[in-house]
Structure 1
């Protein structure tokens, strides 16, 4: 498989799902996918095959390798509570210093009813379109006053 350094080599990506309370392995797999992005759904499906359907509200804790929009939507659809840090939070949790950027993506609040984002300066960013990039749907949001923002860093 192609590794993180873009080199092809014999590599494997093991996946193990463990019940937190008992410590028992409830699902496992080995793939040649170089990321964990596509592994959450199969692990949950294998878990449900092995131990019955997971009750609504079951807590699913995984590392930031599983942090994708499709995984978050899947967990929501299944009624499962996902605890997945994004890359910045994962670095923070490991004690790595982060730039204090008051306008990083995780500081924007999403308003589902209006399908818009609210920036830390309380400005509304409205959806202006979508496009495909690397096989994933990307959404464009724009704010009317971003150009005049007193906190804007060029």
Structure 2
């Protein structure tokens, strides 16, 4: 069922997740326990606005790139460094620690961590991991704890099950509108007109789904009782 639909002028889904989730919650009169989307919606600022009691199942863009083999993770990419939240330090693949050294690039939203120069100079991977004799540096974003939490949820068995269901369900409305309703393109122009047309198409889809789920006689009875 389609709980909310809206036309936007942007050519991507960035910064749309929280808005669409809010619209759907308002229309349903209830907040969902889970919300799922693909990585096209991923934005730290946007996801951070979602209520903490809603579990967000969404791969980060890095996860999506890795799964699609667009940018394979290299042996000494930052993703291979483990963050120790108790000590606020990173641990490199060789077990050496990178300590917090201050803000990176004069930004309070970016924290720099650096290893001891002698650790790197004596490492067999010196020259591959880093060429700096002062040590390897990694930068941590202020929102990185949110990213880590999202990645853990997405990788969990429950997260993968929810995401598989999303893949099964998300294409059905588009296929029904385009193929069965013949709506290959919008006929009206302007946001108000397109929103109205999308609402009509969504209603047609929802009626068809209710006919399938509860049957036509039961649907007629429910509509008569409204």
| TM-score bucket (shorter structure) | 0.5 to 0.7
Aligned residues: 123
* Structure of greater Rg: 2
1:30 paired with 2:7, answer yes
When the two structures are superposed, what TM-score results if normalisation uses the length of structure 1?
Answer: 0.60
Q: Take 2:76 and 2:11, find their aligned partners in 1: how far apart are those partners?
A: 30
Answering whether residue 103 of structure 2 is matched by residue 126 of structure 1, we say no
Looking at structure 1, the residues matched to 43 and 22 of structure 2 have their Cα atoms a distance apart, in angstroms, of 18
- Structure 2 partner of 1:99: 72
Deviation at 1:115, TM superposition (A): 4.3
> RCO greater where, 1 or 2, for CA within 8 Å and sep 6 or more?
2
Indicate conservation of the 8 Å contact 2:83/2:91, yes or no. yes
Distance 1:111 1:97, change over 3 A: same
Structure 2 alignment gaps of length 5 or more:
132-226
In structure 2, C-alpha distance between the alignment counterparts of 1:59 and 1:108, rounded to whole Å: 30
SS in 1 for 2:3: strand
> Which structure has more helix as a fraction of its residues?
2
Report the structure, 1 or 2, having the larger strand content.
1
Give the Cα separation in 2 of the matches to 1:119 and 1:107.
Answer: 7
The alpha-carbon distance between structure 1 residues 115 and 50, as it changes in their structure 2 partners (threshold 3 A), is farther
Distance 2:43 2:80 in 1: 17
- RMSD after superposition: 3.0
Shift in alpha-carbon separation, 1:113–1:86, aligned structure 2, 3 A: same
Query: Contact (CA 8 Å) 1:127, 1:139: kept in 2 or not?
Result: no
Shift in Å, 1:153: 4.5
CA deviation after TM superposition for structure 1 residue 111, in Å: 4.1
